[in-house]
Each structure stands twice: as structure tokens, then as C-alpha cells.
Amino acid sequence: MGDTLTNRGPFALYRAWIIREIVPAYINETFLGHPIKLGDDAALTLFARARGRAVQQASAFAFATHPELYSHHFRQWTRWMRGSITRDCWRLRYLPVWSYGWWYTVVKTYTFLVGPAAPVLMAMAYPYSRRDLEYVVLGLILWPALTSLRILQIRRSDETWWFRVGLLLIHPTAVLWTSLVMRWIRFYGLATFLRQGWVTRIRGVEVELGSGTLQ
């Protein structure tokens, strides 16, 4: 649809004239009078989207490093959530109301806010809410299964077919982890989003490659 919300930082390409045009806004962005530094990849995507299309090229790969410790994983997610809150506000303000990105942001925000209350309300109304609980459980199974099908569309020369099947099977676990555990990190990010420190990589990259540490 040409409405990608975030061109991932490790591998994103932009028209040069767009970058030159938005440099002042990119460097001097503020929100509620506070300087904003996080979520820069999503900011560049929004600038580009405002002047045309932002698309994903499924055959392009970036071999990014990932957290190896829970502490790094949680801090990385905290940084992402602090950045995403500002981006969601800008999307609702600047994207056309009829666009996919605008409606996706509305639905995502609604489910994020209502999600934690739903289990409490269903528990209070049980057993009358039993049918609703069944629908929720069914959704937790079907939605990850549907989103994981895209894994089969991406074919890399260094991955076997069985490896991709394994990714397909483990994907629902990742979705559940995000929904049930990392959701609370997002609430923390919402409450502390004006802390615009980098949080991770302050003393160098926090992962190891082979026997040595990458700095």
C-alpha cells in the first residue's frame, strides 16, 4: 500500500532530496517542548511518507545483531516504546485519515489500552464471559499463525526449508511473549517517554560475535 510505518534502521534507503529537505526538523524535533531523539528511523519514514510512498522490499536483508540477555532485551524495548509513542501521535496528526497507517495506528492504540482491562473484566464476569474468553484464546492462536505465514515468502540462500518451518512454528511464541510480557514494558515507556537517553549501547554494542566482543 506504500504506507510502511517504519523503515528499519539497519537497512533503509531514502531519496536524497527528502533527507536534505527535512534535516532541520529531524535534528530539532520537539514534543511538548522537549527535545526528541529516539525513534529516528520511524521519523524518517514519516517524513518520506508525507511526500510520497514508503515501501518494503521483501528481498532485501539486513543481518542485525540481537540482544543476548534479558536486561538488554528489556532496555532495548524500553527505548523503542519511548520512541514509538511520539511517532504514533505524529501519525495521527499528519497522516491522511483515509490512509492505512492512520487506521492501523488507531486500532493498535485501542487494543493496547483496552487489552489489559479485558482479562480483568472477563474474570469478574465469569462464567458468563466464558464464550468471550474462548474467542480471545482462539485469537491468540490464529493471529500469530496468520502473521507467521510471511516467513515462508522470504527465502534466503543460507536457510534451509526445515529452518524456515522451525521459524514458522516458533513465531506464535514470540507473539505471545510480546503480548503478555513486553506489553508492560510499553506501559513503562509511555510513562517515561520524555527520558530520551539511548539506554543501550552506551558502553559499546552489547552482543558477542564468536569469541570476541563487538565494540
d(CA 186, CA 83): 10
d(CA 113, CA 86): 16
Residues of the chain short of pLDDT 50, as ranges, are: 211-215
Phi, psi at 76, each rounded to 5°: -60, -45
Domain annotation covers residue 203 = yes
Note the pLDDT tens digit of each residue in 69-87.
Answer: 898 899 989 999 999 999 9
pLDDT of amino acid 14 = 92
Length of the chain: 215
Domain annotation covers residue 22 = no
Domain annotation covers residue 2 = no
Domain annotation covers residue 28 = no
Which structural domain, as residue segments, surrounds residue 186? Answer: 70-213
Domain annotation covers residue 56 = no
pLDDT of amino acid 65 = 79
Q: How is residue 150 written as a grid cell? A: 510471511
pLDDT of amino acid 90 = 93
Torsion angle, CA of 135/136/137/138, rounded to 10 degrees? 50
One-letter amino acid at 158 equals: D
Residue 121's contacts (CB-CB under 8 Å, 6 or more residues apart) are 129
pTM assigned to the model: 0.79
Note the pLDDT tens digit of each residue in 181-204.
Answer: 888 898 898 899 988 887 776 666
